[in-house]
Each structure stands twice: as C-alpha cells, then as structure tokens.
Amino acid sequence: MNWTAFRALLSHWRYRPLELLTLIVGVTLATGLWCAVQAINAEARASYDRAASVLAQNQLNQLVAKDGGRISSQTYARLRRAGLHVSPIIEGDYRFGTTRIRLIGIDPLTMPSDGIVPAPSDPSGLVEFIQTPGQMIVSPATAATLKDTSGLSLKARADLPDGAAFVDISTADRLLKRNGELSRLIVSPSQDPDLPTIGNIAPELSLEHARSRPDVARLTDSFHLNLTAFGFLAFVVGLFIVYSATGLSFEQRRGTFRTMRSLGVSLRSLTVMLVIETALFALVSGALGIVVGYVVASALLPGVAATLRGLYGASVAGSLSLRPEWWIAGLAMALVGTGLSSLQHLLRVWRMPILSTAQGRAWAMVSTKSLLHQAAAGLVLLFVSGSLVLLGGGLISGFAVLAALLLGAALILPTLLALGMRVAEHISGHGLTRWFFADTRQQLPGLSLALMALLLALSANIGVGTMVSSFRQTFVGWLDQRLAAEVYVTARDEAEAARLRQWFPHHARAVLPIWSTEGEISGQKVRIFGVADDATYRDHWPLISGGPATWDEIASGEGCTGQRTVLEVRQGVARRRDRNARWLESPRRRGVFRLWQSEGRNHHWS
C-alpha cells in the first residue's frame, strides 16, 4: 500500500512537468553556484598551502637572522658541528632573459625529504641535479617559458607553483652571487634532545616555528569571504525558487493528501513519503548542481587566479581539481536547503485534521499561525543584528549584521502587510472594499515568499550597486591623481628607452622617466620605482603623511615614499622574527619616510 501511495504522490509531477523543471532548476542553480564558489576557494587555499609548503617550507621550523640579514656559512658550520640537523637555503630573484624567477637553492643531502628533489637513494638523479651547470626543477608552465633561455637543464613537476625553481645550493650561490651567505636554515624534525640550545651556539639567529597557515592565505581571507558571501546569496535566491515550487506542489496536492488519509494512509507514513520525495529530488538536483558548479568554476578559475595574482601576488593553479570537501559539502547543502524549503509545508500537513487538508480556509488559518511564528523569528534576527552592531567587530561580524538584518526584515514583511490589510479592512466603509482587503489578506500566505524574495533582491541590488559605484568613483579618482600624465609609454629594452628619451623632449612639455626593479626589504618582496622630480608628482600624488618639504627630501635622495600597507607588513614581519627595525634608521637612508594610500597589491615603494 505504501508503494502505491508513493507512486500516487509522484504522479503529480508527471502531469506538471513545468513545476518539476522549476524545482530541479532551482536546486541545481543554488547548489551549482554555491559549489562553484567553494571549488574556487578550495583550489586557491590548496595552492596557497602547497606553495607555502614547497617554497617556504612553512611546515618545518626555520632559523633566520634576527636583523633580517643573511646567515654566514661559519654559523651554519657551527650548528652542524654541534650536532644540529639543519639544512641551508639560498633564495632570491634571478632574471633569465626577460623572465624573473624565484630561485630556491637547497642541499639535497641534508634537506628533509619532501619528494621534490632527488633523494640520496637515487644516485643518477642526484648527480644530474648537483652537477655543473646545474638542473632546475620547475612547473610545466615555467619550463615552457624558460626553454632555451636558462642555460640549465630543466625538469618539470606538475605540483610546483609557477615562477619558482629549485636548484642545487651551489648553483643558486653562483647565480645569485651570495659568496656562501645563506637566506635561512631548515630545522629537521628529528633532533637529539641532549644537544645544546640554538641560542648558545648562534645567538644571532632566531627560531621561526612552523605555521599552519601561509601569510598569503591570511592576506586573501577577505577576498574569499566575499566570494563565499555572494555564493551564499545565490544559494538563498535559488532556495526561494525551490520554496515556491514545493509550496505550489503542496497546495495543488491538498486533495490528494485528504484522499490518501481517508483511505487509511497514516500521517506518519504520508510525512515519510513526502520527506523521501524531497530527498530524492534534492539528491538528483544536487548531483546536477555539482556538475554545473564544476563547469562554472573551471570557467571562472583562470580569471580569479589572475585577480589574486594581480592584487596579492598569490600563485593559484589555473586548473580545477575535484576535491571531496566542496562537492560533498555541496550535496549536503542541497539536501539541507531543500529540506528547509519544504519544512514549513510539511508542518502544515502534519498539524491539520484529516478532513481539513483540502479546505482553503483551513490552509489559510494554519498559514496565518506560521506567519506569526515567522514574524517572531524575524524580530529575534533584528535584535541579533542590532546587538552585533554594538558588540561585534570585524568583517565576519559585519556580514552577520547584514544577513540578520535582511533576513529579519524579510521574515516580518508578511506579518506587517497582513496587519496593514486588517487595518485597511476595518477603516473601509464600503462592503466591496472590505471584501477586497479581506481576500487579499487570505491570499497573503501564498504571496509572502514572492514578496520576501523581492525585498531581498531589491535590497541586495541597491546595496551592491551603491557599494560598487562608490568604489568605482573612489578608484577612478585615485587613478586620476596617480596617473596624472597624458601618455604612458613602456620601453621594451634599454636601446628603445634611449631613443624615446631623445625623441620626447622635442614633442612634449615634460618627460618623466620611471625606472623600476624588484627587490627585498626586511625579507619582503617589493617593487621599487625611481621617479623624476617634477611638479606633476608634487601637485597630484596623494600622500597621507609628510609635510611641504617631502618631495624636496625625496629629490635629494634623503627620503622615500611607500604604501602604508607595505610598512605595516614589514613591521609585522619584524615583530614576528624579533628583528631590529634598522632599514628606516640606516645612515644611508636618513629615515625620511612618507606614506601614500594603497589600492590593490601592497608591494610598491618609490
């Protein structure tokens, strides 16, 4: 009997394929957009972790110089003679033709095994790695870029980030001209407990403990949080479609429910069959949503990777992997979301008497009670939103305030409209007008979802539109100040730059050459610009600190400017490594430092 009753429930969709399509599409879109965002976030975080683990070896303790400088080979020798298992690292930027590569020189004989370089148990691979002129282990994309330009043999590995190369430490020392000076020392996890402390052997070094999260992951948290917020908003919008489709199906099957109950189907059995039906649709639609999410994420990932590289200097793989954490979560979200969308309708069926299910007035009365409960939940959310405004802090708290405010306002909207309809009915004198407001109030439970969706859509559209417009106007104004010249020309080489410098003075009011290079300050990679002394910079460059003599000090070589966030990052690194902040106090740089507001990637000095 139960199987026959279940088939009777499913027969509803055979005669209403458009409703079935709406339900499937709603869950599929909601799950697909959510999975796409989570897949991109998961791939980006995996790339951060892999890059930090491979390039910086952040899963192992490290020794660095307290003053931010380099470590002498004599210090390394003292540590080895004392019995400490440490491995030297030489790293720095090196240019092969027009391509700049991050060189990481390691000692394969002392390096803790990570599977990247040949192990001592592989003599042929080890000899090929350390013999002159040397071998570079790079990603396939980097290998294609360096083909016929590096002068070294290349070995490609798919699990390495782009723009980096592993070489033998002697090769790195020769190319970077370090004369035996080391960048850092990797501390092996296996150490003799009876050995002397590092502070007694090399007091000029400090120990950096392994970090669970790379720096770039913390830097990009806000970016991924915004992606997650928009993905969740898309998921909620999809659930509104699902809620509407399930509500319509329950409304149209009220007579079927009454007939089944009258024929002896228990309320428990009917509810279980409806839950199974909902779960079945959720699983099918969720699986389709995972496929849609994978396709969308694959299409968007290259653009997101380029954005992260431009804004934060983060290297993210351009291809997508099918990771269990996001597709399992997507399937769970589909089940939970569809269940929540059907929960209210299931409760209505559960609470009504056996012969009241098909009566429109009874359905409306139960719906009115649910609206009151809904309004109470909305008031609670508004209270939570106000409390978070007063007590909360941070980006996540801000998102929670917005979510509670929007959902609370949407939940109390039907009750406020019902109250307005009741007041209008009482103050109306004409019978037909009173009937109009009364009938409108009775139809309100069926219209409440559309009205709530409209409220959320308009609020999100106005809010996001205002935010984007404000950011665009601010950014355009900032660019107008920064890019004050009429024409910018980039020379491809030094010879072309020399010809341009000879030609432009006869065809322009002023020629302002800009030189740039990449370097390191306190261990942080920065881009350094050299500019000419001209009124264009004095009149248009926005500084957030400094006086009238700032540009005179910069022109005389006694000062510099830099992004505010660069100084904050440098100071944070200095505190973490217990370094002395000597760079700004160097006699060669008189300590005259001015800040300008940053928009985007935080690695610029001039």
Angstrom distance (rounded) from CA 468 to CA 234: 18
Q: Assign 601 a pLDDT band (cuts: 50, 70, 90).
A: very low
Q: What is the pLDDT of residue 380?
A: 92
Burial class for 363, CB neighbours closer than 10 Å (0-12, 13-18, 19+):
buried
- Residues 240-274 have pLDDT tens digits of 778 777 877 877 787 788 788 777 888 888 888 88
As a whole number of Å, the end-to-end CA separation of the chain is 81
Task: State yes or no: pLDDT of 63 exceeds 80.
Answer: yes
The mean predicted confidence, pLDDT, of the chain is 77
Lowest-confidence region among 270-274, 328-332, 551-555, 582-586: 582-586
| DSSP code for 602 | S
CA angle 43, 48, 54 (to 5 degrees): 120
Q: What is the pLDDT of residue 324?
A: 84
Q: What is the pLDDT of residue 288?
A: 92
Tokens of 198: 């590092």
- Residues 369-400 have pLDDT tens digits of 777 888 888 899 999 999 988 887 777 788 78
Task: State yes or no: pLDDT of 55 exceeds 70.
Answer: no
- Residues 496-532 have pLDDT tens digits of 888 888 888 888 888 888 877 766 665 566 778 888 8
Q: What is the pLDDT of residue 291?
A: 92
Alpha helices in 313-359 (DSSP H): 324-351
Q: Is the Cα torsion angle 63, 69, 71, 75 positive or negative in sign?
A: negative
What average pLDDT does the segment 167-194 reach?
84
Task: State yes or no: pLDDT of 72 exceeds 80.
Answer: yes
Q: Assign 353 a pLDDT band (cuts: 50, 70, 90).
A: low
What average pLDDT does the segment 168-176 reach?
88
Angstrom distance (rounded) from CA 18 to CA 26: 12
Q: What is the pLDDT of residue 573?
A: 44
Lowest-confidence region among 51-55, 281-285, 511-515: 51-55
Q: Assign 284 a pLDDT band (cuts: 50, 70, 90).
A: very high
Most confident among 50-64, 70-84, 310-324, 392-406 (mean pLDDT): 70-84
Q: What is the 3-state secondary structure (H, E, C) of 46-92?
A: HHHHHHHHHHHCCCCCEEEECCCCCECHHHHHHHHHCCCCEEEEEEE
Strand order in the sheet with 592-596: 515-521, 524-530, 604-605, 559-563, 592-596
Q: Assign 592 a pLDDT band (cuts: 50, 70, 90).
A: very low
Q: What is the pLDDT of residue 509?
A: 80
Domain locations along the chain: 1-55+217-358, 60-209, 514-605
Task: State yes or no: pLDDT of 330 exceeds 60.
Answer: yes
Q: Is the Cα torsion angle 453, 455, 458, 461 positive or negative in sign?
A: negative
Task: State yes or no: pLDDT of 54 exceeds 70.
Answer: no
- Residues 3-40 have pLDDT tens digits of 888 888 888 888 888 888 888 888 888 888 888 888 88
For 148, phi then psi, to 5°, come to 65, 15
